[in-house]
């Protein structure tokens, strides 16, 4: 898989986590720990996207 394809997949995962977070926030039974975990996963994906995009810029 090319690095650009990997970035595209990560962007899709990030969008899915955004939706998951919005859904969790809309549900009254969602705990703060669940919201925090979703936010941590979203941040990890964002960091990975940034790293891959830097690698792509260096390779260009």
Residue ranges of domains in the chain: 3-59
Q: 52 vs 1, which has greater pLDDT?
A: 52
Cα–Cα distance, 39 to 36 (Å, whole number): 5
pTM given for the model: 0.89
The pLDDT score that the predictor gives to residue 15 is 98
Nearest 10 degrees: Cα torsion 16, 56, 48, 24: -20
State how far the Cα of 46 lies from the Cα of 40, in Å rounded to an integer.
10
Residue 60 reports pLDDT greater than 80:
no
Six token digits for residue 39: 């936010």
Judged on CB neighbours under 10 Å (0-12, 13-18, 19+), 10 is buried
Q: What is the pLDDT of residues 1-50, one digit of tens each?
A: 799 999 999 999 999 999 999 999 999 999 999 999 999 999 999 999 99
pLDDT at residue 1, rounded to an integer: 73
Angle, helices 3-26 vs 32-59, to 10°: value is 160
């Amino acid at each position: 898989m090319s690095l650009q394809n990997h970035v595209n997949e990560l962007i899709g995962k990030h969008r899915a986590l955004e939706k998951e977070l919005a859904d969790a926030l809309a549900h009254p039974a969602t705990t703060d720990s669940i919201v925090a975990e979703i936010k941590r996963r979203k941040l990890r994906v964002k960091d990975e996207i940034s790293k891959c995009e830097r690698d792509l810029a260096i390779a260009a």
